[in-house]
Copies of this chain bind each other. A is one copy, B any other.
Amino acid sequence: MKNVMKITDEFGLVNKITRGFKNYHNLVAGVGDDTAVIKNGNKYLLLTCDALAEGDHFDCSWSTPEQIGNKAVEVNVSDVASTGGRPTLMLISIAITKDTPEEWVVGVYRGIKQVCNKYKITLAGGDTINSGVRLISIALLGESEKPILRSGARVGDLIGVTGVVGGAAAGLRLLKQGAKISSLLKQKHLSPRARLDISDKIARYAHSMIDISDGVASEIKHICEESRKGAMVYAEQIPLCPGANLAEALSGGEDYELLFTLAPGDTQKLKNSGVGFTIIGEVTEKKNGIVLKKEGRNQTMPDGYNHFI
């Protein structure tokens, strides 16, 4: 249908619609990064905003209200973590349908509160509106002395990934199939955790960083695009979550692990600081493009998760 938004065009559309906006303030990074980064005296202010909609991001039959509240905050904290910052203040907009039970809203807020208190985030206000679907939109402020952007990757950097990936997508697949599911995969999909526990250690060495919300393939593309570089990624080195396949790791999304690039000489220092990560490739010249080496053969990197499919 000619007039309907092309489902593969999310990023093209964003470029189109954001043209013509001007930078009137000390915006260091904005559209195209995980968080907006604003110079604020000697520090940087971070600002991010993510919305979770029923159906697309959560399913009330699989998730308790607490889990939905947890996830809504964790995915925003993940954006701040990926910039190497600390979260500070949060605003919430919750849209509810007319038949939403009060217990559901109270439960979501209980989940939000747990994560806010875990990370010492201050709830600074919010808004509750009526809508045709349940939706939670969160704006999160953070701060950083030295923000790590997507645009800092250098040729020769190694590409690191924390934890294991693909688990959230594998969990979603099994839940959809109604199949037997391990508690690990269930947790990966329903209760993702931001890697704020290690992000500051990585930020000491990383040249660029991003959180894995749309799959390894998509995040590498974002880093390469913003840094004007290429990449060589070794499929067999990608640390798969038990039960997940390579496609889920590359294009599945919602793992919320961190993907970063750093100088080869710094990998041992980062390991010594107690951070668990896996090197999955290296940053190359832009002209080489983004290559996935699999079973000894070079392939084109597949696309990441697209919310509009």
Count of identical protomers in the assembly = 2
Q: Smallest Cβ distance from A56 to chain B, in angstroms?
A: 5
Given A5-B96, A18-B123, the answer on whether A91 and B36 have CB atoms closer than 8 Å is yes
Contact of A93 among B32, B50, B89 (CB under 8 A): B50
Closest B residue by C-beta to A11: B128
Interface locus among A41-49, A201-209, A268-276: A41-49
| Complex Cα gap A179–B65 (Å) | 43
Set of chain B residues within 8 Å of A174, measured between Cβ atoms: none
Set of chain B residues within 8 Å of A133, measured between Cβ atoms: 131-133
Taking A21-B113, A38-B89, A56-B129 as given, write out 11 further A-B residue pairs in contact, using a Cβ cutoff of 8 Å, ordered by the A residue number.
A4-B99, A4-B100, A21-B117, A21-B123, A22-B120, A48-B125, A49-B91, A54-B131, A130-B308, A135-B135, A137-B137
Point out which of A36, A52, A103, A120 has the most chain B C-beta atoms below 10 A from its C-beta.
A36
Interface locus among A23-31, A161-169, A230-238: A23-31
A148 within 8 A of B: no
- A30 close to B125 (CB less than 8 A): yes
- A137 close to B4 (CB less than 8 A): no
Set of chain B residues within 8 Å of A60, measured between Cβ atoms: none
Given A56-B131, A91-B48, A132-B133, the answer on whether A5 and B122 have CB atoms closer than 8 Å is no
Q: Smallest Cβ distance from A74 to chain B, in angstroms?
A: 15
- A13 close to B47 (CB less than 8 A): no
- B125 close to A31 (CB less than 8 A): yes
Set of chain B residues within 8 Å of A124, measured between Cβ atoms: 27, 30-31, 36, 38, 47
A288 within 8 A of B: no
- A129 close to B53 (CB less than 8 A): yes
| Complex Cα gap A9–B106 (Å) | 13
Set of chain B residues within 8 Å of A33, measured between Cβ atoms: 125
- A10 close to B128 (CB less than 8 A): yes
Contact of A307 among B13, B20, B122, B129 (CB under 8 A): B129
Point out which of A89, A96, A100, A125 has the most chain B C-beta atoms below 10 A from its C-beta.
A125
- In A126-151, which residues have CB < 8 Å from any B CB? 126-133, 135, 137, 139, 141
- B132 close to A24 (CB less than 8 A): no
Q: Smallest Cβ distance from A98 to chain B, in angstroms?
A: 8
- B17 close to A127 (CB less than 8 A): no
Set of chain B residues within 8 Å of A103, measured between Cβ atoms: 3
A105 within 8 A of B: yes
A180 within 8 A of B: no
- A132 close to B89 (CB less than 8 A): no
Given A5-B102, A132-B53, A133-B131, the answer on whether A117 and B22 have CB atoms closer than 8 Å is yes
Set of chain B residues within 8 Å of A20, measured between Cβ atoms: 113, 117
Set of chain B residues within 8 Å of A93, measured between Cβ atoms: 49-51, 137
